[in-house]
Structure formats: structure tokens, C-alpha cells
Structure 1
Amino acid sequence: MRLLNCKSLTFEEFVRDIPRYAILSHTWGDEEVSLDDMKNGAIDCKLRGREKISATCRIAQEQGLDYAWIDTCCIDKSSSAELSEAINSMFAWYRNAAVCYAWLSDYVQDPAFNLTDEAVLASFESRELITEQDRAFSDPPPLTSKELDIRNHVGQSLKKCRWFSRGWTLQELIAPKHVEFYDRDWRCFGSKMQLAHILSWITGIDSDVLKGGSLDQVLVGRRMSWAANRQTRRVEDMAYCLLGIFDINMPLLYGEGEKAFTRLQEEIIQSSNDLSIFAWTAALGDKRSFRSLWASSPSEFKSCQFLVKPTLEWNGRGEYSITSRGLRTMDMIRIVRGGASRKGSYFLPLDCVDARVKKDIRFVSLEQYGPSLFARRKPWLYDTVVDIEVSQASRLPLAQYICCRESPDLEAMVRASHVGSVQIGFSLEAFDETSITAQPETDWDLRNSILLSYRRRHFWGCWRIKTMSDEPGVCVVCVQSDGWLLYGIFPGDDLPSVMNQSDLLPSQIVAMLQKFPVRTAARCPPWYHTVELSEHELGGGSDGITGTLLRIKSRKIDEIKDGRTKVKARLQKLFKNKTWA
């Protein structure tokens, strides 16, 4: 670690036994003094940056400290190795400092308003207590005129400071045990401990964390929300400035752009099973229907400010890993019964709740686009335990994979997975729609009763559904092979038991179907079912994706008999009344 000697203004290197030092937190401006400038005697020149170096060293010496660390001049930025080491170590350096001086270059104290006044501090502390106790979405008591005046004053002065909008100063506020705040003229106006509740109101950071509480007890999504309104000069720095807050180390690759934030999220999920990292919501202007699991930036975590762990974990939190196919998980669920809009839908429970409504565990809605492959649906919304009727949910027995690679082709790829698919149509009067089962399970979109093709030349499916009566129901079997479709409908107990396997090949299904002489009708008293094939547009025609429709037509046998009897009687009457020439 390279420290600046406050007396001699020279640098000294330390590997072990690092002495007590002060550290500066500030926002960069023009004419900053670099390491080379210092070595060349720039402290005596007229660069603006020399004033903050002089002031830091002066105050440190007044407090009995001989060394200081300032990011502008204590890092050799021409060395990529040293820069990478410094950024990966910076959180620890701020945490281990004896004191941190936070210099707000655009803040001027108002002599008539003291931030550390007991009435001002009590106003923020009491309001925070009210918010913590209010666990419903009911409106808290309105602010009094005095509270409004205080917040207006703080909002128009301190809150507008550039220091609160920069990415790097987030960790510089959280990491140090002791932070002193200085205005433009280097006059101290309070410490982090004194101003904790005001700083919490400005930044959204929990006051307990500002007072030294553990970061590990704060959900990942909530920590991300602290950076939602901050910016950095370089896109990559928006990820790098958060490394210490998540206790992550990773190499720096300037030039990778938003991929840096994706890499950060990957590192987090590989070291933690905290799924609140997926609780983000896209901006309302994002018109995409499908996204990967990763957020594009911390700004998408704005809705995560109040996330906490649920009182009871819903799914026990399994293991998660990043693979070439996506996030591997065995915690996905599917709604097997319930409303038509939810039945057959897939979800990933995130095991986090809004602190104001603790029962509403959040879920991510997913769309299948390949065998065991899923993408995130409706990225601008999230679902809760109340929305999806988890009492009707079942856990998927096999590992599934959720897309982690953001691509402009993702939406087209999800929609293309339906091209050439087979949809089953049936009468709700005859069938119990809550009884649907299908094989292979990974190929069926039960929400829409569609056997997904994934644009394959060869695939097959077996679809079972019970009727409203006591009979076993029907099975519909279809197989696509080299452009032609073979299908059949059978009573539920007529198919061979081998058909219960999901690993059968399309050729095996063809061989089985060809053994049945009748494949387009099934007599299942009291119903008689027939199946017809036609081309139609899937999804109501809104996507322009065409597929095959297998329409099941069901009539009661008694009605068929009655119809035949009536036709026979009409014919007999016609011939009886006919006068032959």
C-alpha cells in the first residue's frame, strides 16, 4: 500500500505493519494531482487538486496521523496491475483507515441551520422509526410543517451535492468506521455516526449499516438499490465500485462495457444463494417481453429498497450454478392448477419479501423456449406468492436452466421456439382442464396446451386429460418426423405402459401408433371423441407464428344415438310419404 507522508509529502510503501492513516473521499474534478505530478513537485504548483491534498495532510497531522491515502495521487494509474489491485482492495483500505474525510466541494454550510442540532436529528430518527414499524402499504402520518421545512432545507443543500450521486463514494461512505464530513471550505459539519439518519434518508442505505452493522445481513437486491441512482464516468466502473460491498474480487477489463456488471452478478451468485439478485425490474420504457436473468445496471434495482428475508423460507434455497446453458436450478415450480392465465406457468421463487408486506414472497415469471431452457418473462413486473396461488404449485423434478446471456436475438429465439408446434384444442364442457399431464414434460407448454417444436425436425408428445365423468379420459399422441405429422386419440387406458417413458425416440412412437388401426376417434362412454387436424396461428395470431391444431370434438354417445334415431325416423317418414311414379 502506497501512503503519503503528511510531513514530507513523499510516498512510502507498506506491505505489512501498515501505520494508522487518514483517507480522503471526494469527487474528482479538473486539474487533479497524479502520482507523477507529486514526484515532480506538483504540490507547489497551481493545480486545483493540490488544495485537497494539502488540507487532508493538515487535518491528519492535527489529529495525530502521519500518513494519508488519496486516490488521485497514491495509485499509479499507468500500471493496469496496480490499478486492478487498488480497486479490488479499496473497500478494505477505507474500512481500515483511522478516519475518512468526506469533502463535499459543492456544499456550503448555512450558519442559520445546524445539521447536528438535536431537533433536526430527532426529526429524521423518529420518522425512520415510524417507517420501520409500519409494515403495510397504508400511508404513514403526514409530515408536520417543521419536518417539511427541515427536509426541504436538507434536500436543497446537502442532498444535491455531487458526492451523493457518484458510484465510488458509496463504498467510501459505508466502509470506514469513522467518517467526518467537510464543506467546501474544509469546515467539519458532522460525522457519519451523528448524521446516520439524515444520510439514510438521502442515500437509502440502512442507518444500522451506517452505524457499523453487518452488510451480510442485508439482501443483495437491497444493497444494489443503494447504487440505483448513482453514476460513474466509465460504464465498467459501475460494477467495479461495488466489488467491496459484495465482498467480490474480479479482474478489471476496461472496454467490456455493461458486461462488467454481468460479470459482477455472476460472481455474486457463485458465492451466495441470495436470489434477491434477480428481484430487479426493467424500466417502463423497456418494451422487451423476454430478458435474461441479469439486470443491465444497478438502476433496475430501484424497487428493491425494502427487500428483506421472509420469516419462513418458501423453498429451502437449493444450489445454483452458472453453466454454458444458463443458471442451473432445481427450485423452479410450475402451477399445475388454478386460473387459466396461470395454469402451466413457470416461476422461480426468490425468497425475499417487501418489508412492508412480509407475506408476499417475490417470484420471477419464466417462459420455456427449449428443452429445460427458460427466459425471464415480463421483466418490468414481478409476481408474489399471492398472485400465483402456490398451493397449486409443484416443483419440477429435474434441473432446469434459465438464460443468463442477454442478446438482441433472445426475444426472437423464444418466439421461434413455437414455430411448427402442435396445439391441443378441447371443450371445457367435456374435459377437466386441471387434470392435464404431458410427456416429455420439458417439451410441453401446459399453460397454452402446446407441444413445443423448438424448430426440430423430429419430436413427439403424449398429452393426457380426464373428462368430467368417471371414465379415465383420453390420450392424444403425436409425432413429427421429416415434415409429416402422425397423430391419434385413444382412451386413457388403451396405450401401452411403455408410453409412460419420456426418453422414447420419435421412431419408436411412430412404430407404436402404426399398430393402432383407428387413430382419429376414441369411444370413452359416455363420450365419443374425435380429433381433427388443421393449421392455425398460435398465441391468438398476435405473433404471426403458425402451427398445427389438433382439435378434439366431444359428443355424448346418447346424443349420437338420439341423433341417428331421429335421422332414421325422418328418412322412414320421407319414404313412407313418397308417391312413386
Structure 2
Amino acid sequence: MRLINTKTLELKEYWGSDIPRYAILSHTWEEEEVTFQQLTQLPREEVAKFKGFKKIERTCQLAERSGIEWAWVDTCCIDKSSSAELTEAINSMFRWYQESAVCFAYLSDLRNDRRKEGGWKVKGGEKSSPNEGQGADKRGVEKEEVGERKKWEGDQWSENWNKENGKTRKEGDAESRAGASDASSNTDNGLTWRQRVDKYAACRWFTRGWTLQELIAPRRLGFYNQDWVFEGEKDKLSSELAEITRINKRVLNNAALLSTIPVAQRMSWAANRQTTRAEDMAYCLLGIFGVQIPMLYGEGSKAFIRLQEEIIKESNDLSLFAWRAGASSQKHWGVLALSPQDFADCASIELWDDAMYNDEFAVTSKGLRVTPASGGALRLGKDETFVLSLRCYRQGSDKDLGIFLRKHGCDVFTRVFPDALADVQDTRKETTGAKGRVFYISKMVSPVLSVVLSSSHRNGIDLSWAKEALKKARFRLDHEAGIHPVGHWDTQRSMFLTQGTRELSCRVQFAPFGDSSERPLVLDCQLRDGELSASFVVGGSSGKPAKGSVLQKRDSRGKLVDWLEAKVVQKAVKGQPVYFVDVDVLPVF
């Protein structure tokens, strides 16, 4: 970690346990920020001409007056020309803010409303800035302060500081007295709570991605307006900050509680924030979720996908999938969100139980693999959908939330209706074919792939008619061992999905009900060059199995009569050709 000496403004590197106490700056980047190369290579008088130098200067001044010898400012303490150093810094950023002795948050666009309150020295009957007509040392520190020197927040900041650092009130006063006029003022200036909320909410600092962790992580954080006049301390403004950011006050005052907050709720804090580079929208959230990923500038929004994949490795919290997308013509979606903006309405999401009790899920090359601990992971929804319970709810509601899924083959699903969350209580129990079985949900679905998936039933082989007809003949579908190839089978629709191919061999076995003396019955389908034929095969250990599209059986008089007849009908389903296999069950007397 590279730190600035608050007296000399020289940089020095520290590692591990050797890192001394330091102050840290939180701010928004603007024009003419001072880089590492500029601070170390240019003459000081040249560096001082940059607008951003003032922030470095004032940070060091405030730190020194608080008895802190070192400071950290992101603009100049990171050598961004080194990708390795930049990666280490971004992955360590949350911890650096958390371990700082104090953080100064500079709100560069927050107007100083205290100029009319005696915070300025009167010269010749007119109020003027302390800088006017006054000498300054080499760091621009005013030699003459205004009025009686007070301590931050009516002594509360200083008194608490001294207690934490084992100092007497007198010793602490001596350290901070010199800078007290910069850090003192009436914290509300006569404003109502709502006026304070509106005043701070208008600041750009509350709209940037990186400042989210810089608000939560520090134990001690003080806000300064554009004239570096102290506005208030985080714990004293926690009510206003919670209203602006939607972050729980307990978390604002204790970052250690972050892990107790549902993933979806934490994501919602970043929903209305922006970063200059698309990748930073993911990188700035690493500390919020306690994960680390390599920096790959140039990958764009894929960084946010990698962030979610890393969260999945560390947490079993299904609320990660409680996002909602905006209106779109795209039908099929992946289970991962495209942006924190998709979590905008997740601020009230809560978990039913500890996430450790949820079903196991993991990211694989096939998609998100879900391993149900019981048979309740999937339920039947409406319009040929399944519903996956996310084991979470909204504050003030008792509804278990879920997402809508559509099946593609035996075990692969995509998300559908991404603009809505399902009410799990409105669904039916899962089908026998879905119970307790490992399944996969696509991570991402591109618009092109969505179109392809929308026609996945093209040349499909639908056996729903045959299934219902054979029920009348006292035969049931044997789900355990009677479906081949199982990877193409859609249980809910009783259909083999051919993915548009014109060549496929498939079969389904039906077992007789109860203790019937009937032998198992196999319905064999052969798709060749776009033409489907269907025939029966009667199984058994003795004799040659009967086979054909028409099966015969002896009636009560011993005469052979037609009993079952398989037929194929082609129909258009949503504009795509589908083969329907029907079965005529003829009466046997």
C-alpha cells in the first residue's frame, strides 16, 4: 500500500502489518486529477497547478491535524500504468477503506451554505474568505484561522476519536485544535430532515459506483462541502444517508453486517449508480460481496456476469436471481442479470431462512446447475412454464418469490417473463419427471439464441395424444426407464424436442396398470428425412415381440382383431411444424 506523508507529501510503500494508521479520501473524479507519475516526476510547483492537487493537500492537512501521519488518495497512490498493481488495488479497495483511521468524503458540488453564519472573518465591515490577504505556508494551510477554534460536531467527533485512541480529552484537543475551524459548523444549518436529504441527494458523490463501498466500509467518515467545511459525520447522518441510498442504517454503521443482507438487496444499492467504464460497475462491488476477480478492461458488461458467477461460488443465496428486466421483445433469457439496474426494485427483498439451507447450485459450462435437496425445487406454472422458488420475499408480504422457466429438452431451462417474479403459492406441485432431478438453467441467452430457442419445438414429436389414449387402455408412461433419448424429452409437454433436426430415433415405454398380465408396450418413433413413422413393440421374455403400427389381440371369441393403431399427424404450432402421434384404442369383445 502506497501512502502519502502528510507533512512532506512524499510517497512511501508499506506492506501487511507494517502499514501505519492512515486517513483516506473519498471523492468523485474531476478534471486535472494528479496521477502517480505526475506527483513523483513533476516539480512540486507544477503539480500544484492541477485542480486535483487541492484535494490531496487538504486531505493531508486534515489528517495531520487529527494526529495522523499518513494519508491515501486513489488518484496518486496507485500506479495505474501497472495492470498488476491496479488489479491488486481494486481487489483491496474495500479493505483499505475499512481499515482506515478516518475517511474524508469530499462533496465537490455541495454548496457551502454556512458563509452567512459567521464562519468567515469580517474585514473592513465585509465578510471575506480566510485566504484573502492572509499568508499561507507551502501546502496552502492558512496561518490565521477564523474565530474561536471548535472541534467537529460540538466536540463529539473529537471526544469519540480520543476515547478510541486512548488519549485524554486535553491531548486530543491539542491535536485537532489547529484544524477545528475547517471541521466545525452547525450540522443542519436550520434545515429540516427532508431538506437535508434533498440537499445531499443532489450531490454527484451519491450517484457514482465507487463511492458506494467508500460510504459503507469506513468506521469513521466525515462529509465536507465544496469549501472543505465539515457537514457532518456518517453515524450522525445515518437516517438521511439511509433514505438517499436505501442502505440499512445498521450496515452504514457496521460494515461487518454486510454478509447478513440478501444479495439482491445489496445489488439494489448500486442500481442507480454509474461508472465511467462499464467494467467498473462490477469491479466497484467486489468488496460489497466479499469476492475477488481479475481485472479485464475491455470486456465491457461481461465483468458483471463474472461478478455474479463469483458470488455464486461464495453464497447459496437464491435472491441473486430475483432481478427483473425492462420491457423487451426477447422471449428467452439467462438466469444472470445484465446490470445492477435490473435489481432496482429489490431493496425490500428478505430471505426466509439462512441461505446455507437452500438447494445447491453451481456454475458449469452447461449453465447454472441446480441440485435439489428435495422434490420441491420446481413447480408447474402457467403457459407451459415451470417456477423456481428463490426462497425470499418482500418486506410486508408473505409470498414466496420465484422466477418463470421454460424447458428445452430433458434438463435445460431458460428464464421467461423476466419482467415479473412468480408467486410460488399460485403454482402446482412439481411433476414426477422433475422431482429431485438435477437440472440446468442457461446463464446467458443472446437475442439470436432466444429466436432459435423459440423454435426448439420445430419438427418436435408430441406424444401427449398417445399418452392420454393409452391411459384408456390401462397403460401408464414409465418415466424411470422408458424414455430414450432422455436428453430430448420435455416432460411437461410430453414431447421429444428435435431442435429442428430431420433425423431422430426415439421410443417411450408404457407399463400396464396394477397387476395386469399385459406385457410392457413400447411406442417407437423414427424420424427420417423429415418424415415420421410410429409403431408399437410389445415387450416380454417369451416369444417374438409383436411389432407394427397396428397391434392385434384376440377377442372374447378367440378371433384376432385390431386393438391399437398408431397414427402420425403433422400440425403447425406457433408457426413451426410438429408431429403428433395419436393412438386409436379399438374395443375388444
Same fold (TM over 0.5): yes
**Aligned position for 2:210:** 168
Partner residue, 2:4 = 4
* 2:30 corresponding residue in structure 1: 29
Distance 1:459 1:351 in 2: 40
- CA displacement 1:411-444 (0-9 Å, x = unmatched): 13323431211123549998989x8765345433
Q: CA RMSD in A?
A: 3.8
**Structure 2 length as normaliser, TM-score?**
0.75
- Is the partner of 1:37 in helix, strand or coil? helix
Partner of 1:81: 84
Which residue identity is paired with 2:221? V
Question: Is 1:320 matched with 2:355?
Answer: no
> Out of 479, 504, 508, which is 1:462 matched to?
508
Identity %: 37
Q: 1:477 aligns with which of 495, 514, 523?
A: 523
Query: Residue by residue, what CA displacement relative to the aligned partner does 1:37-66 show, whole Å, maximum 9, x if unpaired?
Result: 222234653211111111111111111111
- Say which of 282, 290, 310 aligns to 1:247: 290
1:375-524 map, 5 Å? 375-390=414-429, 395-424=434-463, 426=465, 438=479, 439-440=483-484, 442-456=487-501, 457-462=503-508, 477-483=523-529, 484-488=531-535, 495-496=539-540, 515-517=546-548, 519=550
Cα deviation, residue 150, structure 1 = 4.5
What does residue 261 of structure 1 align with? 304
Tell me the equivalent position of 1:354. 394
> Is this contact kept in 2: 1:466–1:474, CA < 8 A?
yes
Q: Counterpart of 1:453 in structure 2: which amino acid?
A: T
Change (3 A) 1:73 1:335: closer
**Distance in 1 between residues matched to 2:260 and 2:540, nearest whole Å:** 55
| Aligned residue number for residue 58 of structure 2 | 55
The answer to whether the Cα contact below 8 Å between 1:335 and 1:388 also exists between their aligned partners in 2 is no
Alignment of 1:68-467 (within 5 A): 68-110=71-113, 150=192, 152-212=194-254, 213-284=256-327, 286-311=328-353, 316-331=357-372, 341=382, 345-358=385-398, 360-390=399-429, 395-424=434-463, 426=465, 438=479, 439-440=483-484, 442-456=487-501, 457-462=503-508
Specify the SS of the correspondent of 1:270.
helix
CA–CA separation in structure 1 for the residues paired with 2:478 and 2:394: 35
Shift of 1:312: 8.2
Partner SS state of residue 386, structure 1: helix
- Report deviation, 1:363: 2.1
Mapped contact 1:333–1:348 kept (Cα < 8 A): no
TM-score (norm 1): 0.76
Shift of residue 389 of structure 1? Answer: 2.9
Output the CA distance in 2 between the equivalents of 1:473 and 1:293: 44
For 1:554 and 1:291, locate their aligned partners in 2 and report how far apart those are by CA, in whole Å: 42
Distance apart, 1:390 and its partner CA = 3.9
| Contiguous gaps of at least 5 residues in structure 1 | 118-148, 499-511, 562-581
> Cα–Cα, structure 1 residues 70 and 521, in superposed 2: closer, same or farther, change >3 Å?
farther
- Which position in structure 2 is the counterpart of 1:504? none
Aligned-partner Cα distance in 1 for 2:377–2:73: 56
In structure 2, the CA distance between the partners of 1:551 and 1:90, relative to structure 1 (3 Å rule), is same
SS at match of 2:39: helix
Give distance in 1, aligned partners of 2:541 and 2:441. Answer: 32
List per-residue Cα deviations over 1:338-383 (Å, max 9, x = no partner): 78x36x743433222222213x222222222244222222222221
- SS of corresponding position for 1:304: coil
Q: Distance in 2 between matches of 1:193 and 1:497?
A: 80
Partner SS, residue 425 of structure 2: coil
Equivalent residues of 1:329, 1:401 under 8 A apart = yes
AA aligned opposite 1:516: K
| 8 Å CA contact 2:209, 2:281 repeated in 1 | yes
Kept in 2: contact 1:333–1:394 (CA 8 A): no
SS at match of 1:230: coil
- Please report how far the alpha carbon of residue 477 of structure 1 lies from its aligned counterpart in structure 2 after TM superposition: 1.9
Q: Residue 200 of structure 2 aligns to a residue in which SS?
A: coil
- Aligned partner of 2:132 in structure 1 is none
| Residue 151 of structure 1, CA deviation | 6.2
Query: Separation in 2 of the partners of 1:391 and 1:518?
Result: 33
- Aligned-partner residue type, residue 551 of structure 1: D
> Quick one: structure 1 residues 180 and 155, their matched pair in 2 at CA, closer, same or farther if it must change by over 3 Å?
closer
Question: Aligned partners of 1:497, 1:207: CA distance in 2, in Å?
Answer: 73
In 2, Cα distance between equivalents of 1:29 and 1:199: 23
Report the Cα distance in structure 2 between the residues aligned to 1:429 and 1:547, rounded to whole angstroms.
18
Cα 1:338–1:349 shift into 2, 3 Å: closer
**Structure 1 residues 445 and 345 mapped into 2: Cα distance closer, same or farther (>3 Å)?**
farther
Q: Structure 1 residues 415 and 520 mapped into 2: Cα distance closer, same or farther (>3 Å)?
A: farther
Report deviation, 1:277. 1.3
* 1:333–1:347 contact (8 Å) kept in structure 2: no
Q: Deviation of residue 336 (structure 1)?
A: 9.5
Q: What SS does structure 2 have at the residue aligned with 1:291?
A: coil
Decide whether aligned partners of structure 1 residues 334 and 21 sit closer, same or farther in structure 2, where only a CA change above 3 A counts. closer
- Choose 303-312 or 208-217, whichever is displaced more: 303-312
Instruction: Give the corresponding residue for 1:135.
Output: none
- In structure 1, the residue corresponding to 2:80 is in which secondary structure? coil
Kept in 2: contact 1:522–1:530 (CA 8 A): no
Q: 1:450 to 1:523 in 2, by over 3 A?
A: farther
Is the Cα contact below 8 Å between 2:379 and 2:427 reproduced in 1?
no
Change (3 A) 1:41 1:351: farther
Comparing 365-374 and 159-168, the one that deviates more: 365-374
Please say if residues 379 and 429 of structure 2, whose CA atoms lie closer than 8 Å, have aligned partners that are also in contact: no
8 Å Cα contact 2:387-2:404 kept in structure 1: yes
Q: Does structure 1 retain, via aligned residues, the 8 Å contact 2:464–2:493?
A: no
Structure 1 179/521 Cα, relative in aligned 2: closer, same or farther at 3 Å? Answer: farther
